Chain A
Amino acid sequence: MVYNTRNNTSGISLKRIILLLVLSCLSVANGWAQDTKTATISLSYLQTDSTKTLKATVLSDNKPVKGPEIHLYVKRMFGMLPVGKAVATDTLGEALINFPMDLPGDKDGIINMVVKIEKDEIYGSVEVEGSAKWGSKPKGELSEWGARSLSASREKAPMTLVVVSIGLIIGVWGTVLWLIFQLFRIKKAGKQIKKATEAAI
């Protein structure tokens, strides 16, 4: 008896579970579709003599969005460098992030940035790229980017090193070729003597 009851209950539960799952999915999908909104980020670069501030403005349906956290990254050679802590937007949809004064840029001092809203409950992930001439210009060797140096690529090896190396290689391998040529001459000389001896016999 107990077994049968359980059996019946089990059958009913399965149908209910499937029904509930379908309804839940529809409900979640509907809710998600309703809650997730599109947002845009625009960037402004504010600079005084002693400060550099990035202003990120977040709008959704042309209205300022309050709350989402804005993350700032700077593009480096092998990855993204996070700059400062995330800052939440205010009622105007604006977040102000202080930018460091001493971050190196490329040869012209340009820094490429990425500003993100990361996995926000309402707006999801939003990303925008920008650039500003906010970086310090590299000094010393880096300012000579592309010049011939020991640390440069193979095409940019120092001319003195290239000339000396090639000179040495030609000199030594030229001698090796001369020695191989001598071997041919030795062989030829032996052949001539052999012929002369055979002719004499």
Chain B
Amino acid sequence: MSQHAHLGADNIAHLTDEEKREHRKEIREVVLRPLRHTGWAGWLWIGFLSVIFLIGCYAYYLQLKNGLKVTGMRDYASWGLYISNFIFFVAISLVGALISSVLRLTSFDWYRPITRIAEIIAVSGVLFAGLIIIVDMGRPDRVLNLFIHGRIQSPIVWDVIIVSTYLTMSVLFLYIPLLPGIALCRDQLTEKPKWQRWMYKVLALNWNGSHKQWSMMKKSIAVICVLIIPLAISIHTVTAWLFATTLRPGWDSTNFGPYFVAGAFQAGTACVIIAMFAFRKVYGLQKYLTEVHFNQMGKLLVFLCLIYAYFNLNEYLVPAYKMRGAEGKLLNDLFTGHFAPLYWSVQIFGMALPALLLLWKRARKPLPIAIIAVFVVVAAWFKRYLIVTPIMLHPYTPIQGVPQAWTIYFPTWIEIAIVSASLAGVMLIITVFSKFFPIISIWETLENEGIELEEMDNPVK
């Protein structure tokens, strides 16, 4: 019977009630298995991430104690690794809206088992985006001043508003569809410690799967689905405007909003593919995260790579045709100068090759596509570095009368440690979440297979 698990409503319709019950029991057992037991490899992974995170915390303590002089940032390169990392986190957080909302509203059904993965990536991404901005502040104790004294005319204030709003909405988008899953944990994971059972009880909000509760939950999800799309586009467009409203070569572009959004969808989709592969392999979810999902995500990634390539052409080719003044110097530095190896690696391995390779069905199998997605994500991170750093070092007014060291930027170990800690923090949140809550949305998967919502909460003996 388990072979029917991912085949959809048509194939499960012929099952008897007893077989459906067995099917429900099986999916619940499989999805709850990682919550019941954590192996040594799991603990090792959590320990590894925690150590990186703690090293980053120590590095931040040193930065707080000694000030931003411990970083490689100076007068000209006043934005560096932290801001690059901030854009990357905002970018990957958009995937929650793409997978859970756009695909839902456009009536695609294959997305259902991966919604939760996309949503937890979105929440952890936007959370660390907010934190890394505070890390970039010389005086983090003054962060409240942004709210108290901020000017509504400033894109920085828009960013503060939209990041906090998107974080709140993403948490709700993760939590509300999770209610039946939490209730399942409350009812099934009775062997867990008292505090954990209490947590499930509180978070489940007395969920018992009544028609009224399903109705309210689905209505709420529908509202979030509609609202989160403009919010997601806004968060990355406003982030793009932080740059585009600044008069600098390379940023002074009307293309920046959609260019950032397209890149964000591409990077986020690649992140989801990697997470899908990891959870499938480690948690044994092959029946629910199937080759069909990887195939579809591969096609989606090709589409997004091509869109991003189109925006890249606009962003670089048009000014390169003119090669005027400071912009020309910047582009020369990117195309043939100091940043050329990184620039071409990012364009080729992060965009052109993935789009080309994924045209073949064999490349859309789980392992090949996961490897390709790793390249896309790494390239996406360095792409953000290229959007920030070279531009800071190519202002319109020439750099004069400053020490030679100020004319270049290379991050110090403190910046690298803090950024590594933030990346580890995102993965830690995703890992810990998957040890407490079902990483696959059981009800959405079952609903996709034709199981009625009211049936789902019948106790499974």
Mutual binders A and B: yes
Report whether B153 and A186 are in contact in the complex, using a CB–CB cutoff of 8 Å. no
A179 and B208 contact, Cβ closer than 8 Å, known pairs A153-B151, A154-B149: no
- A residues near B149, Cβ cutoff 8 Å: 154
Report whether B152 and A165 are in contact in the complex, using a CB–CB cutoff of 8 Å. yes
Report whether A173 and B165 are in contact in the complex, using a CB–CB cutoff of 8 Å. yes
A167-190 interface mask toward B, CB cutoff 8 Å, 1 = contact, 0 = none?
Answer: 001001101101110110111111
Give the interface segment out of B215-223, B288-296, B423-431, B433-441: B215-223
Alpha-carbon gap, A166 to B169, bound state (A): 18
Query: Quick check: is A162 within 8 A (CB to CB) of the other chain?
Result: yes
Report whether A189 and B216 are in contact in the complex, using a CB–CB cutoff of 8 Å. yes
Query: Which DSSP category, helix, strand, loop or mixed, fits chain A's interface?
Result: helix
Query: Quick check: is A92 within 8 A (CB to CB) of the other chain?
Result: no
Query: Quick check: is B206 within 8 A (CB to CB) of the other chain?
Result: yes
- How many of A's residues come within 8 Å of B, CB to CB? 29
- A residues near B151, Cβ cutoff 8 Å: 153-154, 157
A172 and B210 contact, Cβ closer than 8 Å, known pairs A153-B151, A154-B151: no
A185 and B206 contact, Cβ closer than 8 Å, known pairs A161-B153, A175-B227: no
Contact of A157 among B152, B161, B172, B224 (CB under 8 A): B152
A182 and B213 contact, Cβ closer than 8 Å, known pairs A169-B161, A187-B205: no
Alpha-carbon gap, A183 to B221, bound state (A): 12
- List which A145-166 residues lie within 8 A (CB) of chain B: 150-154, 157-158, 161-162, 165
Chain B: number of interface residues, binned into ranges: 20 to 34
- A residues near B224, Cβ cutoff 8 Å: 179
Query: Quick check: is B231 within 8 A (CB to CB) of the other chain?
Result: yes
- List which B365-392 residues lie within 8 A (CB) of chain A: none
CB distance from B457 to the nearest CB of A (A): 11
Alpha-carbon gap, A194 to B212, bound state (A): 13
Query: Quick check: is B138 within 8 A (CB to CB) of the other chain?
Result: no
Known contacts A189-B210, A189-B213, A190-B207; 6 additional CB pairs below 8 A are: A154-B152, A169-B161, A169-B165, A180-B172, A183-B220, A191-B206
Footprint of A on B, CB under 8 Å?
149-153, 161, 165, 168-169, 172, 176, 179, 205-208, 210, 212-213, 216-217, 219-220, 223-224, 227, 231
6 residue pairs bridging A and B, Cβ less than 8 Å apart: A161-B152, A162-B152, A172-B169, A178-B223, A186-B179, A189-B206
User: Top 5 nearest A-B pairs by Cβ distance?
Assistant: A190-B206, A187-B205, A154-B151, A182-B220, A189-B212
